[in-house]
Structure 1
Protein backbone atom coordinates (compact mmCIF):
# COMPACT_ATOMS: atom_id res chain seq x y z
CA UNK A 1 0.00 0.00 0.00
CA UNK A 2 2.80 2.39 0.89
CA UNK A 3 4.53 1.67 -2.41
CA UNK A 4 1.32 2.36 -4.30
CA UNK A 5 0.84 5.69 -2.54
CA UNK A 6 4.48 6.59 -3.17
CA UNK A 7 4.09 5.68 -6.82
CA UNK A 8 1.01 7.89 -7.16
CA UNK A 9 2.84 10.78 -5.54
CA UNK A 10 5.81 10.29 -7.84
CA UNK A 11 3.53 10.21 -10.87
CA UNK A 12 1.70 13.32 -9.69
CA UNK A 13 4.92 15.28 -9.19
CA UNK A 14 6.87 14.13 -12.24
CA UNK A 15 4.27 12.62 -14.56
CA UNK A 16 4.53 15.57 -16.95
CA UNK A 17 8.23 14.82 -17.48
CA UNK A 18 7.59 11.12 -18.10
CA UNK A 19 4.80 12.04 -20.51
CA UNK A 20 7.05 14.38 -22.50
CA UNK A 21 9.76 11.73 -22.82
CA UNK A 22 7.17 9.07 -23.67
CA UNK A 23 5.79 11.20 -26.51
CA UNK A 24 9.29 11.70 -27.92
CA UNK A 25 10.11 8.01 -27.63
CA UNK A 26 6.86 6.87 -29.21
CA UNK A 27 7.19 9.31 -32.09
CA UNK A 28 10.85 8.48 -32.75
CA UNK A 29 10.04 4.75 -32.90
CA UNK A 30 6.88 5.17 -34.98
CA UNK A 31 6.67 4.00 -38.57
CA UNK A 32 7.71 6.35 -41.33
CA UNK A 33 4.14 7.14 -42.31
CA UNK A 34 2.95 7.90 -38.78
CA UNK A 35 6.07 9.90 -37.98
CA UNK A 36 5.53 12.02 -41.08
CA UNK A 37 1.88 12.65 -40.25
CA UNK A 38 2.63 13.61 -36.64
CA UNK A 39 5.80 15.56 -37.37
CA UNK A 40 4.29 19.05 -37.35
CA UNK A 41 2.20 18.57 -34.16
CA UNK A 42 5.16 17.06 -32.32
CA UNK A 43 7.42 19.84 -33.63
CA UNK A 44 5.01 22.49 -32.33
CA UNK A 45 4.72 20.73 -28.96
CA UNK A 46 8.49 20.39 -28.56
CA UNK A 47 8.99 24.01 -29.58
CA UNK A 48 6.55 25.31 -26.98
CA UNK A 49 8.12 23.23 -24.21
CA UNK A 50 11.58 24.52 -25.08
CA UNK A 51 10.30 28.09 -25.31
CA UNK A 52 8.61 27.84 -21.91
CA UNK A 53 11.92 27.13 -20.21
CA UNK A 54 13.95 29.65 -22.18
CA UNK A 55 11.40 32.42 -21.68
CA UNK A 56 11.33 31.76 -17.95
CA UNK A 57 15.12 32.11 -17.77
CA UNK A 58 15.11 35.24 -19.95
CA UNK A 59 12.41 36.93 -17.89
CA UNK A 60 14.22 36.01 -14.70
CA UNK A 61 17.36 37.73 -15.98
CA UNK A 62 15.34 40.73 -17.14
CA UNK A 63 13.56 41.11 -13.79
CA UNK A 64 16.87 40.94 -11.96
CA UNK A 65 18.33 43.63 -14.21
CA UNK A 66 15.29 45.89 -13.88
CA UNK A 67 15.19 45.44 -10.12
CA UNK A 68 18.82 46.44 -9.84
CA UNK A 69 18.70 49.63 -11.90
CA UNK A 70 15.09 50.88 -11.98
CA UNK A 71 12.73 52.11 -9.30
CA UNK A 72 9.58 50.13 -8.58
CA UNK A 73 7.30 52.94 -9.79
CA UNK A 74 9.24 53.64 -12.99
CA UNK A 75 7.20 53.22 -16.22
CA UNK A 76 10.36 51.90 -17.88
CA UNK A 77 9.79 48.62 -16.07
CA UNK A 78 6.73 47.93 -18.20
CA UNK A 79 8.49 49.02 -21.40
CA UNK A 80 11.64 46.97 -20.79
CA UNK A 81 10.21 43.83 -19.23
CA UNK A 82 10.12 42.07 -22.60
CA UNK A 83 7.24 41.66 -25.00
CA UNK A 84 6.48 40.37 -28.46
CA UNK A 85 10.05 40.67 -29.77
CA UNK A 86 11.41 38.57 -26.91
CA UNK A 87 8.75 35.93 -27.44
CA UNK A 88 9.35 35.87 -31.21
CA UNK A 89 13.09 35.46 -30.78
CA UNK A 90 12.65 32.57 -28.37
CA UNK A 91 10.05 30.98 -30.63
CA UNK A 92 12.48 30.99 -33.56
CA UNK A 93 15.35 29.57 -31.51
CA UNK A 94 13.04 27.03 -29.89
CA UNK A 95 11.73 25.87 -33.27
CA UNK A 96 15.29 25.35 -34.52
CA UNK A 97 16.32 23.43 -31.41
CA UNK A 98 13.18 21.30 -31.55
CA UNK A 99 13.85 20.49 -35.20
CA UNK A 100 17.43 19.42 -34.43
CA UNK A 101 16.21 17.29 -31.54
CA UNK A 102 13.40 15.56 -33.43
CA UNK A 103 15.46 14.79 -36.52
CA UNK A 104 18.29 13.42 -34.40
CA UNK A 105 15.88 11.25 -32.42
CA UNK A 106 14.67 9.64 -35.65
CA UNK A 107 18.27 8.80 -36.56
CA UNK A 108 19.36 7.90 -33.03
CA UNK A 109 20.28 4.23 -32.46
CA UNK A 110 18.26 2.42 -29.82
CA UNK A 111 21.46 1.85 -27.84
CA UNK A 112 21.66 5.60 -27.10
CA UNK A 113 18.11 5.95 -25.80
CA UNK A 114 19.06 4.71 -22.29
CA UNK A 115 21.20 7.85 -21.97
CA UNK A 116 18.20 10.06 -22.66
CA UNK A 117 15.98 8.06 -20.33
CA UNK A 118 18.59 8.11 -17.54
CA UNK A 119 18.89 11.89 -17.88
CA UNK A 120 15.32 12.32 -16.60
CA UNK A 121 15.72 10.93 -13.05
CA UNK A 122 19.20 12.41 -12.78
CA UNK A 123 17.81 15.82 -13.69
CA UNK A 124 15.10 15.49 -11.04
CA UNK A 125 17.61 14.44 -8.38
CA UNK A 126 19.98 17.27 -9.27
CA UNK A 127 17.15 19.80 -9.25
CA UNK A 128 15.88 18.68 -5.84
CA UNK A 129 19.36 18.67 -4.32
CA UNK A 130 20.16 22.11 -5.67
CA UNK A 131 16.82 23.48 -4.53
CA UNK A 132 17.46 22.30 -0.98
CA UNK A 133 20.79 24.12 -0.96
CA UNK A 134 19.34 27.30 -2.44
CA UNK A 135 16.21 27.42 -0.28
CA UNK A 136 18.05 29.33 2.48
CA UNK A 137 19.44 31.93 0.09
CA UNK A 138 16.91 32.55 -2.69
CA UNK A 139 13.54 34.26 -2.37
CA UNK A 140 10.84 31.59 -2.28
CA UNK A 141 8.97 33.17 -5.19
CA UNK A 142 11.93 32.71 -7.53
CA UNK A 143 13.42 29.53 -6.07
CA UNK A 144 11.99 27.07 -8.67
CA UNK A 145 12.98 29.27 -11.62
CA UNK A 146 16.49 29.91 -10.28
CA UNK A 147 16.97 26.20 -9.63
CA UNK A 148 15.89 25.26 -13.15
CA UNK A 149 18.16 27.91 -14.63
CA UNK A 150 21.22 26.72 -12.71
CA UNK A 151 20.70 23.02 -13.36
CA UNK A 152 20.17 23.30 -17.13
CA UNK A 153 23.72 23.92 -18.33
CA UNK A 154 25.51 21.24 -16.23
CA UNK A 155 22.89 18.65 -17.16
CA UNK A 156 23.17 19.48 -20.86
CA UNK A 157 26.98 19.34 -20.78
CA UNK A 158 27.02 15.93 -19.10
CA UNK A 159 24.43 14.56 -21.51
CA UNK A 160 26.35 15.93 -24.50
CA UNK A 161 29.56 14.25 -23.34
CA UNK A 162 27.70 10.97 -22.87
CA UNK A 163 26.22 11.21 -26.37
CA UNK A 164 29.65 11.96 -27.86
CA UNK A 165 31.20 8.95 -26.14
CA UNK A 166 28.32 6.76 -27.29
CA UNK A 167 28.70 7.99 -30.87
CA UNK A 168 32.41 7.11 -30.79
CA UNK A 169 31.73 3.70 -29.28
CA UNK A 170 29.09 2.67 -31.82
CA UNK A 171 30.27 1.13 -35.12
CA UNK A 172 30.45 3.45 -38.11
CA UNK A 173 30.27 2.69 -41.83
CA UNK A 174 33.61 2.02 -43.54
CA UNK A 175 34.08 4.93 -45.93
CA UNK A 176 37.83 4.85 -46.60
CA UNK A 177 38.59 4.73 -50.30
CA UNK A 178 35.11 5.78 -51.36
CA UNK A 179 34.31 9.00 -53.13
CA UNK A 180 31.92 11.35 -51.41
CA UNK A 181 29.14 10.72 -53.93
CA UNK A 182 29.59 6.95 -53.64
CA UNK A 183 29.53 7.09 -49.84
CA UNK A 184 26.32 9.12 -49.86
CA UNK A 185 24.69 6.84 -52.44
CA UNK A 186 25.56 3.67 -50.48
CA UNK A 187 24.74 4.72 -46.94
CA UNK A 188 22.16 7.51 -47.15
CA UNK A 189 18.80 6.14 -45.98
CA UNK A 190 15.79 6.67 -48.19
CA UNK A 191 13.02 9.02 -47.13
CA UNK A 192 10.27 8.46 -49.64
CA UNK A 193 6.75 9.24 -48.59
CA UNK A 194 7.68 11.38 -45.61
CA UNK A 195 7.79 14.79 -47.32
CA UNK A 196 9.16 17.41 -44.93
CA UNK A 197 10.43 15.00 -42.29
CA UNK A 198 12.15 12.86 -44.92
CA UNK A 199 13.92 15.92 -46.30
CA UNK A 200 15.28 16.90 -42.88
CA UNK A 201 16.32 13.33 -42.11
CA UNK A 202 18.24 13.00 -45.37
CA UNK A 203 19.86 16.37 -44.80
CA UNK A 204 21.02 15.40 -41.30
CA UNK A 205 22.18 11.96 -42.43
CA UNK A 206 24.11 13.52 -45.32
CA UNK A 207 25.87 15.91 -42.95
CA UNK A 208 26.80 13.06 -40.60
CA UNK A 209 28.06 10.88 -43.45
CA UNK A 210 30.09 13.79 -44.79
CA UNK A 211 31.73 14.27 -41.41
CA UNK A 212 32.57 10.57 -41.11
CA UNK A 213 33.81 10.39 -44.70
CA UNK A 214 36.06 13.43 -44.26
CA UNK A 215 37.58 12.19 -40.99
CA UNK A 216 38.19 8.65 -42.25
CA UNK A 217 39.73 9.74 -45.55
CA UNK A 218 41.75 12.65 -44.17
CA UNK A 219 44.95 10.64 -43.75
CA UNK A 220 44.56 8.13 -46.55
CA UNK A 221 43.74 10.52 -49.38
CA UNK A 222 44.16 14.15 -48.38
CA UNK A 223 46.99 14.08 -45.81
CA UNK A 224 45.08 16.58 -43.68
CA UNK A 225 44.75 14.52 -40.53
CA UNK A 226 44.95 17.23 -37.89
CA UNK A 227 42.81 20.01 -39.43
CA UNK A 228 40.06 17.70 -40.68
CA UNK A 229 40.04 15.68 -37.47
CA UNK A 230 39.72 18.84 -35.40
CA UNK A 231 36.89 20.05 -37.62
CA UNK A 232 35.17 16.68 -37.35
CA UNK A 233 35.46 16.71 -33.56
CA UNK A 234 34.08 20.24 -33.47
CA UNK A 235 31.10 19.30 -35.63
CA UNK A 236 30.44 16.22 -33.49
CA UNK A 237 30.55 18.24 -30.28
CA UNK A 238 28.30 20.94 -31.71
CA UNK A 239 25.67 18.53 -33.01
CA UNK A 240 25.53 16.39 -29.88
CA UNK A 241 25.65 19.51 -27.73
CA UNK A 242 22.68 20.98 -29.60
CA UNK A 243 20.71 17.75 -29.13
CA UNK A 244 21.53 17.59 -25.42
CA UNK A 245 20.74 21.27 -24.92
CA UNK A 246 17.40 20.95 -26.70
CA UNK A 247 16.46 17.80 -24.76
CA UNK A 248 17.28 19.29 -21.36
CA UNK A 249 15.57 22.54 -22.33
CA UNK A 250 12.47 20.59 -23.26
CA UNK A 251 12.37 18.86 -19.87
CA UNK A 252 12.99 22.12 -18.05
CA UNK A 253 10.23 23.77 -20.06
CA UNK A 254 7.80 20.99 -19.16
CA UNK A 255 8.70 21.53 -15.52
CA UNK A 256 8.26 25.29 -15.85
CA UNK A 257 4.79 24.89 -17.36
CA UNK A 258 3.82 22.39 -14.67
CA UNK A 259 4.91 24.65 -11.82
CA UNK A 260 3.85 28.00 -13.27
CA UNK A 261 0.31 27.86 -11.99
CA UNK A 262 1.40 26.62 -8.58
CA UNK A 263 4.25 29.05 -7.86
CA UNK A 264 3.30 31.97 -5.62
CA UNK A 265 3.64 35.38 -7.22
CA UNK A 266 3.42 37.31 -3.98
CA UNK A 267 5.02 36.32 -0.73
CA UNK A 268 3.24 37.79 2.26
CA UNK A 269 3.73 35.00 4.79
CA UNK A 270 6.06 32.11 5.35
CA UNK A 271 3.67 29.58 3.77
CA UNK A 272 5.08 29.60 0.21
CA UNK A 273 8.57 28.92 1.48
CA UNK A 274 7.27 26.02 3.51
CA UNK A 275 5.44 24.65 0.49
CA UNK A 276 8.57 24.87 -1.61
CA UNK A 277 10.55 23.14 1.09
CA UNK A 278 8.05 20.28 1.24
CA UNK A 279 8.21 19.95 -2.54
CA UNK A 280 12.01 19.92 -2.42
CA UNK A 281 12.13 17.08 0.07
CA UNK A 282 9.79 14.99 -2.09
Structure 2
Protein backbone atom coordinates (compact mmCIF):
# COMPACT_ATOMS: atom_id res chain seq x y z
CA UNK A 1 0.00 0.00 0.00
CA UNK A 2 1.51 3.36 -1.04
CA UNK A 3 1.53 6.47 1.13
CA UNK A 4 -1.37 8.11 -0.71
CA UNK A 5 -3.58 5.05 -0.34
CA UNK A 6 -2.62 4.73 3.31
CA UNK A 7 -3.49 8.39 3.93
CA UNK A 8 -6.88 8.06 2.27
CA UNK A 9 -7.58 4.94 4.30
CA UNK A 10 -6.61 6.76 7.49
CA UNK A 11 -8.95 9.65 6.69
CA UNK A 12 -11.81 7.32 5.83
CA UNK A 13 -11.41 5.40 9.08
CA UNK A 14 -11.31 8.69 11.00
CA UNK A 15 -14.72 9.85 9.73
CA UNK A 16 -16.88 7.71 12.05
CA UNK A 17 -14.56 8.38 14.98
CA UNK A 18 -14.67 12.13 14.44
CA UNK A 19 -18.43 11.99 13.96
CA UNK A 20 -18.85 10.24 17.30
CA UNK A 21 -16.58 12.76 19.00
CA UNK A 22 -18.57 15.72 17.69
CA UNK A 23 -21.87 14.11 18.65
CA UNK A 24 -20.39 13.68 22.13
CA UNK A 25 -19.49 17.38 22.09
CA UNK A 26 -23.09 18.31 21.30
CA UNK A 27 -24.30 15.99 24.07
CA UNK A 28 -21.87 17.66 26.47
CA UNK A 29 -23.21 21.07 25.45
CA UNK A 30 -26.74 19.78 26.01
CA UNK A 31 -25.77 18.63 29.48
CA UNK A 32 -24.26 22.03 30.17
CA UNK A 33 -27.43 23.77 28.98
CA UNK A 34 -29.51 21.67 31.37
CA UNK A 35 -27.35 22.20 34.45
CA UNK A 36 -26.02 25.71 33.76
CA UNK A 37 -28.90 27.48 35.57
CA UNK A 38 -27.88 25.79 38.85
CA UNK A 39 -24.11 26.14 38.42
CA UNK A 40 -22.12 28.72 40.34
CA UNK A 41 -20.18 31.48 38.63
CA UNK A 42 -16.78 29.74 39.11
CA UNK A 43 -18.17 26.60 37.46
CA UNK A 44 -19.56 28.62 34.56
CA UNK A 45 -16.20 30.39 34.23
CA UNK A 46 -14.37 27.04 34.15
CA UNK A 47 -16.57 25.80 31.30
CA UNK A 48 -16.13 29.10 29.49
CA UNK A 49 -12.33 28.92 29.72
CA UNK A 50 -12.31 25.29 28.60
CA UNK A 51 -14.40 26.07 25.53
CA UNK A 52 -12.24 29.12 24.78
CA UNK A 53 -9.07 27.05 25.05
CA UNK A 54 -10.44 24.48 22.61
CA UNK A 55 -11.37 27.22 20.16
CA UNK A 56 -8.01 28.95 20.32
CA UNK A 57 -6.17 25.64 19.91
CA UNK A 58 -7.38 25.70 16.31
CA UNK A 59 -7.73 29.45 15.73
CA UNK A 60 -4.12 30.29 16.54
CA UNK A 61 -2.29 27.71 14.37
CA UNK A 62 -4.71 28.28 11.50
CA UNK A 63 -4.08 32.03 11.71
CA UNK A 64 -0.32 31.42 11.75
CA UNK A 65 -0.61 29.22 8.68
CA UNK A 66 -2.52 31.89 6.76
CA UNK A 67 0.01 34.51 7.86
CA UNK A 68 2.91 32.36 6.67
CA UNK A 69 1.26 31.83 3.31
CA UNK A 70 0.95 35.61 2.97
CA UNK A 71 4.55 36.18 4.07
CA UNK A 72 5.91 33.62 1.61
CA UNK A 73 3.98 35.30 -1.18
CA UNK A 74 5.50 38.75 -0.52
CA UNK A 75 8.82 38.28 1.33
CA UNK A 76 12.03 36.39 0.59
CA UNK A 77 12.79 33.34 2.69
CA UNK A 78 15.76 35.11 4.29
CA UNK A 79 13.79 38.25 5.16
CA UNK A 80 13.73 39.15 8.84
CA UNK A 81 10.01 39.87 8.49
CA UNK A 82 9.41 36.16 7.94
CA UNK A 83 10.20 35.69 11.62
CA UNK A 84 8.88 38.95 13.02
CA UNK A 85 5.44 38.63 11.45
CA UNK A 86 5.06 34.86 11.65
CA UNK A 87 2.81 35.07 14.69
CA UNK A 88 3.55 35.07 18.39
CA UNK A 89 2.09 36.33 21.67
CA UNK A 90 0.21 39.23 20.08
CA UNK A 91 -1.49 37.00 17.54
CA UNK A 92 -2.30 34.42 20.22
CA UNK A 93 -3.79 37.12 22.46
CA UNK A 94 -6.01 38.42 19.67
CA UNK A 95 -7.21 34.93 18.80
CA UNK A 96 -7.81 34.16 22.46
CA UNK A 97 -9.87 37.33 22.81
CA UNK A 98 -11.93 36.23 19.82
CA UNK A 99 -12.40 32.79 21.37
CA UNK A 100 -13.41 34.26 24.74
CA UNK A 101 -16.08 36.47 23.18
CA UNK A 102 -17.51 33.75 20.95
CA UNK A 103 -17.48 31.13 23.70
CA UNK A 104 -19.23 33.50 26.12
CA UNK A 105 -21.96 34.09 23.54
CA UNK A 106 -22.22 30.37 22.80
CA UNK A 107 -22.40 29.31 26.45
CA UNK A 108 -25.09 31.90 27.16
CA UNK A 109 -27.25 31.20 24.13
CA UNK A 110 -27.10 27.43 24.68
CA UNK A 111 -29.01 27.83 27.94
CA UNK A 112 -31.90 29.40 26.01
CA UNK A 113 -32.15 26.54 23.50
CA UNK A 114 -35.21 24.77 24.86
CA UNK A 115 -36.52 23.17 21.67
CA UNK A 116 -35.42 19.57 20.95
CA UNK A 117 -35.43 20.29 17.22
CA UNK A 118 -32.61 22.79 17.69
CA UNK A 119 -30.43 20.16 19.32
CA UNK A 120 -31.25 17.65 16.60
CA UNK A 121 -30.20 20.25 14.06
CA UNK A 122 -26.91 20.74 15.89
CA UNK A 123 -26.23 17.00 15.78
CA UNK A 124 -27.03 16.92 12.07
CA UNK A 125 -24.81 19.95 11.54
CA UNK A 126 -21.72 18.50 13.19
CA UNK A 127 -22.20 15.21 11.35
CA UNK A 128 -22.49 17.17 8.13
CA UNK A 129 -19.27 19.00 8.96
CA UNK A 130 -17.36 15.72 9.22
CA UNK A 131 -18.81 14.40 5.96
CA UNK A 132 -18.22 17.63 4.03
CA UNK A 133 -14.66 17.89 5.33
CA UNK A 134 -13.88 14.31 4.30
CA UNK A 135 -15.43 14.81 0.86
CA UNK A 136 -13.55 18.05 0.20
CA UNK A 137 -10.28 16.62 1.45
CA UNK A 138 -10.50 13.77 -1.05
CA UNK A 139 -11.70 16.03 -3.85
CA UNK A 140 -8.98 18.66 -3.51
CA UNK A 141 -6.12 16.30 -2.63
CA UNK A 142 -4.68 16.14 -6.19
CA UNK A 143 -4.83 19.91 -6.74
CA UNK A 144 -3.75 21.72 -3.58
CA UNK A 145 -0.42 22.26 -1.87
CA UNK A 146 -0.25 19.59 0.87
CA UNK A 147 0.96 22.15 3.40
CA UNK A 148 -2.08 24.38 2.92
CA UNK A 149 -4.75 21.92 1.82
CA UNK A 150 -5.98 21.13 5.37
CA UNK A 151 -6.60 24.82 6.08
CA UNK A 152 -8.37 25.35 2.75
CA UNK A 153 -10.53 22.29 3.36
CA UNK A 154 -11.37 23.46 6.88
CA UNK A 155 -12.36 26.95 5.74
CA UNK A 156 -14.55 25.63 2.96
CA UNK A 157 -16.10 22.95 5.19
CA UNK A 158 -16.92 25.48 7.90
CA UNK A 159 -18.39 27.85 5.31
CA UNK A 160 -20.61 25.23 3.65
CA UNK A 161 -21.82 23.74 6.92
CA UNK A 162 -22.23 27.15 8.52
CA UNK A 163 -24.38 28.54 5.71
CA UNK A 164 -26.69 25.53 5.83
CA UNK A 165 -27.01 25.73 9.62
CA UNK A 166 -27.68 29.47 9.63
CA UNK A 167 -30.37 29.17 6.96
CA UNK A 168 -32.00 26.31 8.87
CA UNK A 169 -31.93 28.24 12.16
CA UNK A 170 -33.39 31.37 10.58
CA UNK A 171 -36.19 29.32 9.00
CA UNK A 172 -36.91 27.69 12.36
CA UNK A 173 -37.04 31.13 13.98
CA UNK A 174 -39.50 32.25 11.29
CA UNK A 175 -41.78 29.26 11.86
CA UNK A 176 -41.53 29.27 15.67
CA UNK A 177 -44.71 30.42 17.52
CA UNK A 178 -44.11 33.70 19.32
CA UNK A 179 -45.97 35.53 22.10
CA UNK A 180 -48.40 38.22 20.98
CA UNK A 181 -47.20 41.70 21.97
CA UNK A 182 -49.54 43.72 19.75
CA UNK A 183 -51.42 45.03 22.80
CA UNK A 184 -48.34 45.46 24.99
CA UNK A 185 -45.89 48.30 25.39
CA UNK A 186 -42.22 47.86 24.56
CA UNK A 187 -41.34 47.75 28.26
CA UNK A 188 -43.97 45.07 28.91
CA UNK A 189 -42.67 42.96 26.03
CA UNK A 190 -39.10 43.21 27.28
CA UNK A 191 -39.97 42.38 30.87
CA UNK A 192 -42.15 39.47 29.80
CA UNK A 193 -39.15 37.89 28.08
CA UNK A 194 -36.65 38.83 30.79
CA UNK A 195 -38.76 37.43 33.63
CA UNK A 196 -38.57 33.94 32.13
CA UNK A 197 -34.81 33.72 32.66
CA UNK A 198 -33.28 32.43 35.87
CA UNK A 199 -29.80 31.27 36.83
CA UNK A 200 -27.78 30.83 40.01
CA UNK A 201 -24.75 32.55 38.49
CA UNK A 202 -25.17 36.30 38.45
CA UNK A 203 -23.00 36.65 35.35
CA UNK A 204 -24.96 34.03 33.42
CA UNK A 205 -28.24 35.51 34.62
CA UNK A 206 -27.32 38.93 33.27
CA UNK A 207 -26.30 37.41 29.95
CA UNK A 208 -29.59 35.55 29.68
CA UNK A 209 -31.52 38.70 30.54
CA UNK A 210 -29.70 40.66 27.84
CA UNK A 211 -30.52 38.07 25.19
CA UNK A 212 -34.13 37.90 26.37
CA UNK A 213 -34.44 41.68 26.31
CA UNK A 214 -33.10 41.77 22.76
CA UNK A 215 -35.64 39.15 21.76
CA UNK A 216 -38.44 41.16 23.37
CA UNK A 217 -37.42 44.26 21.43
CA UNK A 218 -37.30 42.29 18.18
CA UNK A 219 -40.75 40.79 18.68
CA UNK A 220 -42.34 44.08 19.70
CA UNK A 221 -40.85 45.96 16.75
CA UNK A 222 -41.92 43.30 14.25
CA UNK A 223 -45.46 43.03 15.62
CA UNK A 224 -46.18 46.70 16.26
CA UNK A 225 -44.19 48.62 13.65
CA UNK A 226 -43.59 46.05 10.94
CA UNK A 227 -47.07 46.52 9.46
CA UNK A 228 -46.68 50.21 8.63
CA UNK A 229 -46.92 50.81 4.86
CA UNK A 230 -43.70 52.81 4.44
CA UNK A 231 -41.70 52.54 7.64
CA UNK A 232 -42.62 48.91 8.25
CA UNK A 233 -40.29 47.15 5.84
CA UNK A 234 -37.07 48.70 7.22
CA UNK A 235 -38.16 47.54 10.68
CA UNK A 236 -38.78 44.02 9.41
CA UNK A 237 -35.41 44.00 7.66
CA UNK A 238 -33.70 45.22 10.83
CA UNK A 239 -35.37 42.55 12.96
CA UNK A 240 -34.43 39.73 10.63
CA UNK A 241 -30.92 41.11 10.31
CA UNK A 242 -30.63 40.88 14.09
CA UNK A 243 -31.90 37.30 13.96
CA UNK A 244 -29.43 36.45 11.22
CA UNK A 245 -26.46 37.97 13.07
CA UNK A 246 -27.35 36.10 16.26
CA UNK A 247 -27.64 32.78 14.47
CA UNK A 248 -24.47 33.40 12.46
CA UNK A 249 -22.48 34.13 15.63
CA UNK A 250 -23.91 31.04 17.30
CA UNK A 251 -23.04 28.79 14.36
CA UNK A 252 -19.57 30.33 14.05
CA UNK A 253 -18.86 29.65 17.72
CA UNK A 254 -20.21 26.10 17.53
CA UNK A 255 -18.21 25.18 14.45
CA UNK A 256 -15.03 26.76 15.80
CA UNK A 257 -15.45 24.64 18.91
CA UNK A 258 -15.80 21.57 16.69
CA UNK A 259 -12.73 22.68 14.76
CA UNK A 260 -10.79 22.96 18.00
CA UNK A 261 -11.86 19.53 19.20
CA UNK A 262 -11.07 17.80 15.91
CA UNK A 263 -7.73 19.58 15.59
CA UNK A 264 -6.61 17.60 18.64
CA UNK A 265 -7.44 14.26 17.02
CA UNK A 266 -5.53 12.23 14.41
CA UNK A 267 -5.36 12.54 11.48
CA UNK A 268 -4.46 16.14 12.22
CA UNK A 269 -6.99 18.54 10.71
CA UNK A 270 -4.42 21.30 10.27
CA UNK A 271 -1.25 19.29 10.07
CA UNK A 272 0.21 21.67 7.52
CA UNK A 273 0.84 24.15 10.31
CA UNK A 274 3.22 21.84 12.08
CA UNK A 275 4.78 20.64 8.86
CA UNK A 276 5.88 24.20 8.19
CA UNK A 277 7.56 24.38 11.58
CA UNK A 278 9.75 21.38 10.93
2:23/2:127 contact within 8 Å kept: no
Counterpart-to-counterpart distance in 2, 1:57 and 1:178? 49
1:107-136: CA deviation from partner (whole Å, max 9, x where unpaired):
112221111110111111100000001111
Larger mean CA deviation between 144-153 and 239-248 belongs to: 144-153
Change (3 A) 1:45 1:218: same
191, 201, 216: which one aligns with 1:194: 201
Counterpart-to-counterpart distance in 1, 2:227 and 2:142? 60
Displacement of 1:216 in angstroms is 0.7
Change (3 A) 1:29 1:38: same
Displacement of 1:92 in angstroms is 1.1
58, 66, 86: which one aligns with 1:81: 86
Q: Does 1:247 align with 2:254?
A: yes
Residue matched to 1:184 = 190
Counterpart-to-counterpart distance in 2, 1:192 and 1:247? 22
157, 170, 180: which one aligns with 2:176: 170
Displacement of 1:227 in angstroms is 1.6
Number of residue pairs the alignment of both structures matches = 260
Residue matched to 1:224 = 231
- Coordinate RMSD, CA, aligned: 2.5
* TM-score, length basis structure 1: 0.83
Larger mean CA deviation between 175-184 and 11-20 belongs to: 11-20
Alignment of 1:1-282 (within 5 A): 12-30=17-35, 32-34=37-39, 38-110=43-115, 111-188=117-194, 189-191=196-198, 193-219=200-226, 224-259=231-266, 260=268, 263=271, 265-266=274-275
Counterpart-to-counterpart distance in 2, 1:133 and 1:230? 38
Displacement of 1:29 in angstroms is 1.7
Residue matched to 1:279 = none
1:56/1:145 contact within 8 Å kept: no
Counterpart-to-counterpart distance in 2, 1:71 and 1:219? 57
Counterpart-to-counterpart distance in 1, 2:168 and 2:58? 23
What are structure 1's unaligned runs of at least 5 residues? 1-7, 268-282
2:222/2:235 contact within 8 Å kept: yes
1:97/1:242 contact within 8 Å kept: yes
Displacement of 1:9 in angstroms is 6.7
Displacement of 1:178 in angstroms is 0.3
Counterpart-to-counterpart distance in 2, 1:108 and 1:127? 27
Counterpart-to-counterpart distance in 2, 1:207 and 1:240? 13
